[in-house]
Amino acid sequence: MLFLIFYKNEKMRIKYILELDGVKIGYTEFEYADPPMGVVHGKIIFEEIDSPYDLFKNHCKKFNVEITADLPKDQLIATYIIPQLKVFLQNGNQLQGWGGAIEGMDSDEFKIEFSGVSSELMQTEFRHHLKKYNEQE
CA distances 137 to 9, 32, 111, 134, Å, are 20, 17, 27, 6
Residues 97-120 pLDDT 10s: 999 999 999 999 999 999 999 999
Q: Is the pLDDT of residue 95 over 70?
A: yes
Say yes or no to pLDDT of 6 above 70: no
In angstroms, the CA 109 to CA 113 distance is 13
Q: Could you read off the pLDDT of 11-46 as tens digits, one per residue?
A: 558 999 999 999 999 999 999 999 999 999 999 999
CA-atom Rg of the chain in angstroms:
16
Q: How far is CA 17 from CA 72, 75, 103, in A?
A: 27, 24, 17
pLDDT at 132: 87
Q: How far, in Å, are 10, 80, 113, 127, 128 from residue 132 at the CA level? A: 9, 27, 19, 8, 6
User: Mean pLDDT score of the chain, rounded to an integer?
Assistant: 90
CB within 8 Å of 105: residues ≥ 6 apart: 53, 71, 74, 75, 76, 77
